[in-house]
Amino acid sequence: MVRVRIAPSPTGLAHVGTAYMALFNWAFAKKNQGVFILRLEDTDQKRHVLEAEEAIYSALKWLNITPDESPVKGGSFGPYRQSERLLRYQEAADKLVKSGTAYSKDGAIWLKMLPNIVFKWEDAVRGKISFDSNQLKDWVILKSDSNPTYNFANVIDDLDMKISHVIRGEEHISNTPLQLSAYQALGQKPPVFAHLPVLRAADHKKLSKRRDPVSLQWFREEGYLPEALLNFLALQGWSHPEEKDIFLADEFAKLISLERIKTSAPVFDFKKLDWLNGQYIKNKDNQELTDIISQEFAPEIPKELVGKFIPLVKERLRKLSEFKGSVDFFLKTPEIKLSLLTNQTKYSPSEIKQALIQTIKAYENSSTWAVAELEATGHYLLEITGWTPRELFMTIRVALSGKTATPPLFEMMAVLGKDETIERLKLAAGTVK
RNA sequence: GGCUCCAUCGUCUACCGGUUAGGACAUCAGGUUUUCAUCCUGAAAAUCGGGGUUCGAUUCCCCGUGGAGUCACCA
């Protein structure tokens, strides 16, 4: 039975590195009809806060990577908070003292490091790794305050929770020999270890809380779709057998194999994440996008309007946080820079004014306000003005939006509505002297 | 510094002894489009160095070099 876990400590923010580990553990469990467990390493009581726990739950929920066993969900091998397991560690430490493999000193309990032992294991992603015990020293398993140390609690928990594969970050490689010494002292068989590479920043150093955006909350607020983030993360160290770039987490879970994971550490490339995110936004259902944006990115805009804007701007967005900026001109009359308006053509201000007046007239007479008809009228205007499409349509575009980059003109006019369109055109015409 | 891990385009990666070293992002140049974006086409861009092993090394081994991780009664 495959049983895997992630074991974050609740520090206040859910880290993207946790999501990375969660994804691979979750996928591996799914692939093998196993169980994915969330355990909280909260023995460092000072830092433990309830909201910190909450941050982890909500992040996992957002990603749709939910544990089968966890502190809130329960399970048959709990409790799943280390702070609730203190007796277990003390019990286990006592046993080791009695058996003579550990001893008490300065109020703490230390595990003896036997000389001339080679701690080695077959890492499921890296192959053989070994450490010489002569490089290692006796180490504390139970602190003088009776709390366990990280390495000891880890071993006891993984044993109690029947963890079959420990899939974790590369930074734990050097902890492994210590943990192996504990398994040995306990007379227990260690799980399979698999050490994934750590995510690096552009400077090739480990992602840092101080300098890099690592909080999953940040990714969410920035407007990354969870499926895009997961897709991106799956591509860090792993690659699709058919070299596909775009695939969902479920597909990843069908195909994952630990042997296929690279051992060198990937640099987190936001440009590629942005591109992927744009792809997911472009292909996402309009209604779903409307729901998300209304709720999280533009609650002040009536949802009905959001729904109208989405089809016009979705293929222009790389992040959902860009939505508001891309539709602001729909909502309030734009400030139009006169020079921008007059620079779109070679014509003089009076000629431009004339063209705008003709445009106003033509659209005032429009009986319907459908895209096809608006476009037909536009082409009629090209004939009577003799302007090129670019000249005329750009001028109207700027008159209506104050921008040179917008959704397609006639679709934009359709959403704006007849009254608003005419009003803005008149306003613009009035400013041209 | 000790120990450990790692090393293909700028970045993410494919290749599991024989390839014109492939793809993606980014970049650049075209095309489509009323603008932007999307989309399409093309270009430039990589095997860290030195030794082996082999008929043949990006691929296997060793040594350098470089990078990273870790060295607590933190996790």
The dihedral sign for the CA sequence A309, A315, A320, A325: negative
A211 touches strand B (CB under 7 A): no
ipTM surpasses 0.90: yes
pLDDT of residue A43: 83
d(CA A26, CA A41): 18
CA closest to C1' of B8 belongs to A264
A263 CA from B56 C1′ (Å) = 28
Kindly report, residue by residue over A186-212, the tens digit of the pLDDT.
999 999 999 999 999 999 999 988 889
DSSP state string for A286-320: HHHHHHHIIIII-TTS-HHHHHHHHHHHGGG-SSG
pLDDT of residue A45: 61
CA closest to C1' of B70 belongs to A174
Name residues whose C-beta falls within 8 Å of residue A261's C-beta, 6 or more positions apart in sequence.
A24, A125, A194, A196, A197, A237, A238
A393 CA from B59 C1′ (Å) = 58
Structural element, H or E, at residue A109: strand A108-111
A105, A162, A205, A209: the active-site residue: A209
pLDDT mean values, one per 10 residues, chain A (433 residues): 96 93 98 97 72 93 98 94 95 97 96 95 95 96 96 98 98 97 97 97 92 95 98 97 96 96 96 98 97 97 96 96 96 91 90 95 92 94 93 96 95 96 95 84
What nucleotide is nearest A105 when CA is compared to C1'? B73
Counting every residue written for chain A, the total comes to: 433
DSSP state string for A11-67: -SS-BHHHHHHHHHHHHHHHHTT-EEEE-B----GGG--HHHHHHHHHHHHHHT---
d(CA A164, CA A192): 6
d(CA A240, CA A260): 9
pLDDT of residue A255: 97
A64 C-beta neighbours (distance < 10 Å), count = 12
d(CA A242, CA A90): 50
pLDDT of residue A246: 97
For A372, the token pair is: 């096809």
pLDDT of residue A47: 55
A44 touches strand B (CB under 7 A): yes
A13 CA from B11 C1′ (Å) = 27
A157 touches strand B (CB under 7 A): no
A251 CA from B58 C1′ (Å) = 30
Active site residue A244: no
d(CA A331, CA A301): 9
